[in-house]
Amino acid sequence: MITRNIKIINKHGLHTRPATAFVTLASRFKSDIFLIYNGVRVNAKSILGLLVLAVEPGSTVTVEADGVDEAEAVESLDKLAQNKFNLE
């Protein structure tokens, strides 16, 4: 299992479109992936879970992946966040 802290630098936080992009990407991996924010841990492949987290812009979230492709998963998700979810 690996974890990594990721900073959400896009303008509106993990709102609909970034969250959609995040879940879509996370779902491509075999590993179990979780997102931890403000002490709450949700399945990163669940859009409803992510929305309910209501991650605000500028905050840091922890990504936790466990499985055969965990390293690749964390790397890709980090990159997605760095690229502001390819939206801006």
Partner 1 sequence: MKKIKGVKISPGVVSGPVFYFERVKISVPGHFIGDEDFDSEIERFNTAVQKSKDELTQVRDLVLDHLDEEHARIIDVQLLAIQDEDMIKAVRELMLREKKNVTWAYFEVMDNYEKLLLKTYSKFFKERTSDLKDIKKRVIHHLSPKKDILQPEILEPSIIIAEKVSPSDLIHIDHKLMLGIITRYGGVDSHAGILARAFRVPYISNIEVIDELASCKEIILDADNGTILLDFTDDIKASYKSRIRDFRRHRGKIISGKVANSTKDGTPYHIYINAGFVDEVKAMDPALIQGIGLFRTEFLCIERNSIPGEDEQFKAYRNVLKKMKGLPVVFRVFDFGRDKLLAMLDIELLQEDHLFDEWGGIGFLLDNPAILKAQLRALLRASVYGNTQIMLPLVMFDEEVILTKNMLEAIKMELRKAGIPFSDNIKLGAMIETSSVLDELDELAKHVDFFSIGTNDLALYLIGSGRALDLTKNYYHPKIFQAIDKIVKAGKKAGIPVDVCGEMASDPYALIGLTALGIRSISVSSSALTAVSDEVSKLDVKKCSELADTILSTDNALAIYSILKKFHQDNLE
Give the pair of three-digit tokens for residue 67: 């499985």
Window contacting partner 1 (CB under 8 A); options: 3-11, 15-23, 63-71, 73-81: 15-23
Subset of residues 16 to 75 that bind partner 1, contact rule: CB under 8 A:
16-17, 19-20, 23-24, 42-43, 45-49, 51-52, 54, 56
Nearest residue to 55 via CA among 5, 12, 3: 12
- Catalytic entry in 4, 12, 15, 84: 15
Spatial separation of the C-alpha atoms in residues 60 and 13, rounded to whole Å:
10
Spatial separation of the C-alpha atoms in residues 23 and 77, rounded to whole Å:
9
Q: Is residue 15 annotated as a catalytic residue, yes or no?
A: yes
Q: Which residues lie near partner 1 (CB under 8 A)?
A: 12-13, 15-17, 19-20, 23-24, 42-43, 45-49, 51-52, 54, 56
